[in-house]
Amino acid sequence: MPLYDYRCTNCGKEIEVLQKISDPAPVQCPACGQATLAKKLTAAGFQLKGSGWYATDFKGSNKGSNAAESPAPSTDAAPPPCANGPCPACG
């Protein structure tokens, strides 16, 4: 069952209600008793269960970048030494 958020237009009280989609929306505010509850527009919440999604799941697809197919070069490695000894660029 989904959670719905409601806000009282009279007193500003906000509540969350766990209800079926087919259930009628509550109208009476539990704080002030007025019939002024209005449904708030909120982002849908969901949970991914199991092994999840990976960048390689759609490897054959032409959508997006090719970052999943070829890893970015590592910046942690030191540059290779110059063939002729120290140079101004390497120090």
What is the value of pTM for the model shown?
0.48
**CA–CA separation, 43 and 50 (whole Å):** 22
| Interval 34-81: pLDDT, tens | 999 999 998 776 666 666 666 555 656 555 554 445 555 555 666 666
